[in-house]
Chain A
Amino acid sequence: MNLNSYSLTKIAEDDKDTTYDLFFGPNHPGMHGNFGYVLDMSGTEIISVRPNAGQLHRGFEKLMEQRGWVQNITLVPRICVMDPDPNEVAYCMAIERIMGVEIPERAKYLRTITLEMSRLTSYLLAIGGVGGALGHYTPTYWSTADRDLLMDMFEWLTGGRVYHIYNIPGGVRSDVPEGFFKKLLEVMDVLESRLPDYDSILFENPIVHKRLKGLGYISKEDARITGLSGPNLRASGNAYDVRKDTPYAAYADLDFDIITQEGGDSLTRALQIRMEYEQTINLVRQAVKKIPEGDIRLNLGLLGSMKVPPGEAYEKVESSKGEFGYYIVSDGGLKPYRVSVRGPSLPAGFLWAQKHLPTMKIDDVAVWMGTLGICPPDFDK
């Protein structure tokens, strides 16, 4: 976007009102990532909105065309900071589909466990984000501390706290260290024991209910047709979950239901995050209980000089924000011919921003973004 065409001064004035242009982000504390909205304001009312993307753009899709198949795995998790593992898994799954290989059972379970752990870290950030946007910082402090327990587990397993780079084509990088699952189950117990606290301070808080109820309503049909996915879609009453509909990794073996609600507003979406958080704890426990012994990856030869046969595939993974899809085209060489990333936040971040924000006050923008789980790096990549 051309910044020169915007001025920060008043853009219209008549006898009664003056309209101002306001940059909400990239430095606003309620903004997620280096993204922003340019709002036309009259008082505290928003009149119109222009998404101001581009400040995060690093040209990932072009970069991936210039690096080897395995080198790219260090790149893909950066597309979603909060929930990096779905990127690695979707990217690897697309390569495995083109190569026509099936990964070992144990690797599938290890992918499932890390995906669900990653989902927990992301939901904890989302809970903190909803609290922080409401000016209610206690849940933010709590969730940051709880998230650290999971980061420690990731560090122990993969060596990295935020970006794990754990998945490689053909399986995962390493098996779990001694005593990892025992500690992981302890962490799950701690996280579950904290839920009543979050409920009483945030999810059952009458002030939060009053503030979020009716904000940013999305109907069932609108959610289906505009490309929303994940918790946002399910909070509008659509029972769609990639883990159930096109099962990948070990999700076909796990026992879980798709959680749906009918509300479709910000309150419902916040409660959806709370319910799916609890379900995720349960999924980690199930996967740890069922994990079989065996190999953790296929031998695909020397990974540095790996070649993928010509072909194409689209693979998707249910992340905490919705459907993450990777469309990969291979020409048989050492590098991908084309990688296209479907980020889950684009419909909410662009389309629904233009539909919703002009009916809101400026105080609601950060809360609205928090409950929709908008993660700008996944479209501005």
Chain B
Amino acid sequence: MNKITAETLLQDLALRCLNGEKISDQQIKVFASKDNFINHLNYLQSIGFEHLANINGVDYIDENEFEVDYHVYSYTHKIHIIFKVRIPREKPVILTVVGLWEQAQFYEQEVHEFYGIYFEGNKDLSPLFLENWNDLPPLRKDFNTEEFSEILFGSRKNGGEE
């Protein structure tokens, strides 16, 4: 396998209709659409990007979109890719990548728990961390923490006195 650099990788991905930007010599970001991103991740895995470091969500509430970021890294090429997929906020559904990486199961459970994003095909989206939670998913930007703590613990004046 030839050594891939950030530039050649971006050219290669542009041929596959994937736009990207170089962040540094060892890091790029890529924007994919939610329809065929699995094929792209599958391709990246096949050319040596085998380390899935993390999956995280971001709530872009002003643009009415969620973003799911897949952080993949190649031990061979030593390049880190931030693989970004945007989905609409009203219908937050995205395909699961458990078939590619087993540990994605737990990252997807976490993102589902904190953003309410559904991962189609993931059989177990049960909560991992929060117990008996029936409020808005807490990492969404419209979740009001102050209001929540006032309801749960009662309001307190400054200084902590009742």
With both chains docked as a complex, state the minimum distance between the C-beta of B61 and any C-beta of chain A, in angstroms. Answer: 10
Q: Does B53 contact A (CB under 8 A)?
A: yes
Residues on the B chain within 8 Å of A97, using CB: 23-24
B51 touches A224 (CB 8 A): yes
Q: Residue of B at shortest CB range from A1?
A: B131
Interface members, chain B 118-148 (any A CB < 8 Å): 127-132, 138-139, 143, 145
Contacting chain B: which of A51-59, A134-142, A175-183, A285-293?
A: A51-59
Q: Does B153 contact A (CB under 8 A)?
A: no
Number of interface residues of A (CB under 8 A): 39
Name the prevailing secondary structure of the A interface residues: mixed
**A327 contacts which of B69, B129, B145 (Cβ < 8 Å)?**
B69
Q: Residue of A at shortest CB range from B29?
A: A312
Q: Does A225 contact B (CB under 8 A)?
A: yes
Q: Does A25 contact B (CB under 8 A)?
A: no
Q: Tell me the bound Cα distance from A329 to B29 in angstroms.
A: 13
Q: Residue of B at shortest CB range from A349?
A: B106
Q: Does A14 contact B (CB under 8 A)?
A: no
B53 touches A342 (CB 8 A): yes
With both chains docked as a complex, state the minimum distance between the C-beta of B152 and any C-beta of chain A, in angstroms. Answer: 13
Interface members, chain A 54-113 (any B CB < 8 Å): 54, 57, 59, 61-62, 66, 97
**A325 contacts which of B54, B102, B103 (Cβ < 8 Å)?**
B54
With both chains docked as a complex, state the minimum distance between the C-beta of A268 and any C-beta of chain B, in angstroms. Answer: 19
Residues on the B chain within 8 Å of A238, using CB: 75
Residues on the A chain within 8 Å of B105, using CB: 350-351
A59 touches B138 (CB 8 A): yes
Residues on the A chain within 8 Å of B132, using CB: 2
Residues on the B chain within 8 Å of A57, using CB: 129-130
Residues on the A chain within 8 Å of B127, using CB: 1, 54
Q: Does A3 contact B (CB under 8 A)?
A: yes
Q: Tell me the bound Cα distance from A325 to B69 in angstroms.
A: 13
Q: Does B96 contact A (CB under 8 A)?
A: no
Residues on the B chain within 8 Å of A316, using CB: 53, 80
Q: Residue of A at shortest CB range from B114?
A: A61
Q: Mark A29-48, 1 if CB is under 8 A from B, else 0.
A: 00000000000000000000
A327 touches B128 (CB 8 A): no
A227 touches B145 (CB 8 A): no
Residues on the B chain within 8 Å of A61, using CB: 114, 139
Q: Mark B43-64, 1 if CB is under 8 A from A, else 0.
A: 0000000111110101100000
Residues on the B chain within 8 Å of A338, using CB: 56, 58-59
- CB-defined A-B contacts under 8 Å, sample of 28: A2-B131, A3-B131, A54-B127, A54-B129, A54-B131, A61-B139, A62-B143, A66-B145, A224-B50, A227-B52, A229-B51, A245-B75, A246-B26, A246-B78, A312-B29, A312-B82, A313-B23, A314-B27, A314-B80, A314-B82, A327-B71, A337-B58, A338-B59, A346-B103, A346-B106, A346-B107, A347-B103, A350-B106
Given contacts A238-B75, A329-B58, 9 further A-B contacts (CB under 8 A): A54-B129, A57-B130, A61-B114, A62-B138, A226-B102, A240-B75, A245-B78, A314-B71, A340-B69
Chain A interfacial positions (CB closer than 8 Å to B): 1-3, 51, 53-54, 57, 59, 61-62, 66, 97, 224-227, 229, 238, 240, 245-246, 312-314, 316, 323, 325, 327, 329, 337-338, 340, 342, 346-347, 350-351, 379-380
